[in-house]
Amino acid sequence: MKPEGKVAIVTGAASGLGLETARTLARAGARVVALDRDAARLEQLESGIGAQVLTRTVDVADEASVEAAIEAAVRAFGAVHIAVNCAGVVDAAKTVSRGTPFPLATWNKVISINLTGTFNVIRLAALRMSTNEPDPETGERGVIVNTASCAASQGQVGQAAYSASKAGVIGLTLPAARDLAPLAIRVVSIAPGVFATPMIAGMPANVQASLFERTLLYPARPGDASEFGALVRHIVENPYLNATTIDLDGGARMPAR
């Protein structure tokens, strides 16, 4: 599916991988519906891209919030063809630390945003995509791209909730693709490694340096968000990619801490 002239929803679009994905798809000619909880940063994105972007403040785990955003997309642009799930949080805690168990509220927050939020967008976007006319070149009605993580199988200390949520994203990819195949909708996930995003930038410098030294293979640098955006575009454009998770990590392997 060529992005040009298509309508793409991107969650987590105010920063990091979601921001660059929104920009990449807009440069490819898509009309972008950028969703995030950060209204101020969304305004900056809108001013940077222009009339081909619509922004909405959205809680991805809330059914009504996502439904309203999708309806706004259809009112503004007429359809939804592409959905990219980049919204996520990395709140960490040890299972037991200093006599205190992992806070259940933290667990619920991470699972709610990273896993439930991803599936919420998948199901509601797919419903709308199912009404599309098939693409004249490929026959597709829609493409959904999710963000997993190398932490799904290489979780570090304190990442029980985050790793579980991302493993869940990988786990739902195949059954969702099977469910949606009769509707000509593809589902693919990306499992990024260490990327230069605000999540990484928020770590202390010594923690970043240690992480890079012990984790990265080649290239010996964090991934750039533009590389993630480029893979999203390729997935959208390559009709034979479906029901799989693609590692985008430069061969990195995560240490325990």
- How do the pLDDT tens digits run along the chain, 257 residues long? 999 999 999 999 999 999 999 999 999 999 999 999 999 999 888 877 877 999 999 999 999 999 999 999 999 999 999 999 999 999 999 999 999 999 999 999 999 999 999 999 999 999 999 999 999 999 999 999 999 999 999 999 999 999 999 999 999 999 999 999 999 999 999 999 999 877 677 667 776 777 777 788 899 889 999 999 999 999 999 999 999 999 999 998 887 77
Separation of CA 26 from chain center? 16
Q: What is the pTM of this model?
A: 0.95
Closest residue by Cα to residue 82 from 116, 45, 35? 35
What are the tokens at 71?
């309806």
CA distance 181 to 188: 12
> Which own/partner contact pairs does 39-42 have at CB distance under 8 Å and 24+ positions apart?
41/14, 41/15, 42/13, 42/14
pLDDT of 46: 82
Residues marked active site are found at 162
Closest residue by Cα to residue 187 from 124, 142, 248, 130? 142
pLDDT of 199: 66
pLDDT of 148: 98
CA distance 120 to 77: 21
Contact (CB, 8 A) for 140 and 185: yes
Phi, psi of 191 (to 5 degrees): -110, 90
pLDDT of 116: 98
